[in-house]
Amino acid sequence: MRWTIKPKPSDDKVKQLAEALKVEEFVATLLVQRGIETYEEARQFFRPTLGDLHNPYLMKDMDKAVERIEKAIENDENILVFGDYDVDGTTAVSLVSSYLKTYYPNVATYIPDRYDEGYGISFKGIDFADDNGFTLIIALDCGIKSIDHVAYAKDRNIDFIICDHHRPGEFLPDAIAVLDPKRADCTYPYDELCGCGIGFKLIQALGENRNQTIEDLTSYLDLVATAIAADIVPMTGENRVLAYFGLQVINSDPRPGFKALIHQIKKQTLDITDVVFIIAPRINAAGRIKHGNHAVELLTEFDFEQAQQFASEIEAYNSERKDLDKQITKEALLQIIDNSEIEGFTTVVFQQDWHKGVIGIVASRLIETYYRPTLVFTKSGDKYAASARSVKGFDVYNALESCSEHLEQFGGHMYAAGMTLLEENYQTFKDAFEKVVQETIHPEMLIPEISIDAEINFSDITPKLTRILKQFEPFGPQNMTPIFISKNVKDTGYAQRLGAEEEHLKLFVRQDTSEGMSAIGFGLGNKMEITTHQKPFEAVYCIDENEWNGKTTVQLRLKDLK
């Protein structure tokens, strides 16, 4: 790990903000580091309101989208709500379809089969629409590059409305409306919404026609918050507002599907981390192991007993997903060692029988061991399909674009992407990808970085600071959990390794004359030697609260020790 301390913002900005908010300069520093420099920006950060959301009609083509949907309702047309099979896609489909069904019955949903159809809009899906008399398809979390598919649908008198958040290509599909804030000609004030977030803006615009206020739509925000958390979009601007109120819905009045999932995991209050690591993988497991339809069924079911049945099936898919993930990761790691591919700038592995549903997770696991841009390939029909994951600061989407002549199809984001290629192009592509990464990546990016907000002493960790830091939630990209460094730390002699393989580290630490504090380091069991015999060390950590037997105490969540 390389430790980097964030640059200290200008003293003037920090002092002005500290005075305006009546907080310590140390807290003001954390805010300025997050781009919050004025009293009003701080108000929006700490006290978000639904009034902070932008007018949905500021989004290019929103008026056309609403007009076409209203025309479909007026003419008694059949509407098909189409979305990808991941969390963002299935939550978006659940949101838009369940909203439309509150006042119009001729609405159905379609999630492509991951194995048979692959990612995004499919010809098979359009044929299904054609065979069943659908004349309007609303595509969510996909479609921005589906020029041929939209043209194919048009030939069959089927219109498209595309709601996507991925980067467009050179040309846009010939759809009735293309809602995507990343369009070059779209001046919408916030362009980091996820697919479900775009879906929410669509129902917000539709709601205005029915004299509905934003408060009438808050029950849908449990879906939006889950998509924001799972898709790892920046936790800023509208995403922060939507996630903030969505978490409130999840914890106070969630839809039966969420209630059934939460009931199974037996946790009282969920934060954004729980949504990322507990809720999202279960929703994802349906599309990974069986079919994304199962997730939509769960999220649109209004009978709690039926939702519990769906949730237990999804729990079984999730267990199967975990077993596959473990097994394939093990095989991939052995392949890297056997093929002596440890020295390159990339990790690219292939095995034809690997389960397509978990190769993205496996790519993330490989990065934990070999910190490099990673592609995991498997056989999909007569082609090779892969999931890509990247390291901090490196744009894997751009790298794939540079090698696109070897690919059949690709799409995604800076840190995660998917692609297909022909078998005969695999080695050529692999070599080209290694070359592009080697020429464009900064060597430092190949060493995992811990970005530290500030150096503090244990004496600074007061109940007041802990309360203020809790108000920084929900955390996510561009508003990560604050990380601190403290020096001259000593363990008081209670250090122990925990876990089946002694992979975790538990300490009781103090600094100078401060009171001792409990500290836990997941995956840091191999650092125990640093803490023995009361030798001083430096610790990098987050400040956590630990609840035990009804008592809440401050606990340090260790990130690294030196």
Helix, strand counts (H, E) of the chain:
20, 19
- Phi, psi (degrees; rounded to nearest 5) at 441: -85, 140
**Residue ranges of the domains in the chain?**
56-313, 339-446, 451-561
User: Each residue of 46-69: b (16+ CB within 10 Å) or e?
Assistant: eebeeeebbebeebbbbeebbebb
pLDDT, position 513: 76
CATH architecture classification, 451-561: Beta Barrel (2.40)
DSSP designation for 288: I
Residue 341 confidence class, pLDDT cut points 50, 70, 90: low
CATH no. of 339-446: 3.10.310.30
The SS3 call for residue 31 is helix
Q: 548 pLDDT exceeds 90?
A: no
Tokens 């299904």 appear where? Answer: 128
Q: 155 pLDDT exceeds 70?
A: yes
Q: 322 pLDDT exceeds 70?
A: yes
Q: 297 near 306, Cβ under 8 Å?
A: no
Tokens for 236? 């800023």
Distances (CA, A) of 77 to 134, 135, 520: 7, 6, 58
Distance of CA 326 to the CA centre of its chain: 21
Residue 97 confidence class, pLDDT cut points 50, 70, 90: very high
Q: 152 pLDDT exceeds 90?
A: yes
Strands 454-455 vs 484-491: parallel, antiparallel or unpaired: parallel
d(CA 299, CA 306): 11
Q: How many CA atoms lie within 13 A of 562 on its CB side?
A: 9
d(CA 438, CA 344): 8
For residues 292-297, give the mean pLDDT: 92
Q: Mean pLDDT, the chain, as a whole number?
A: 93
Residue-wise pLDDT tens digits, 57-84: 999 999 999 999 999 999 999 999 999 9
CATH no. of 56-313: 3.90.1640.30
pLDDT, position 133: 97
pLDDT, position 493: 82
Q: 214 near 263, Cβ under 8 Å?
A: no
Strands 416-422 vs 383-389: parallel, antiparallel or unpaired: antiparallel
The DSSP line for 459-521 is GG--HHHHHHHHTTPSPBTTBPPP-EEEEEEEE-S--EEESTTS-EEEEEEEETTSPPEEEEE
pLDDT, position 116: 82
Residue-wise pLDDT tens digits, 223-273: 999 999 998 899 999 999 999 999 999 999 999 999 999 887 777 788 999
Strands 484-491 vs 537-548: parallel, antiparallel or unpaired: antiparallel
The SS3 call for residue 256 is helix
Q: 29 near 14, Cβ under 8 Å?
A: yes
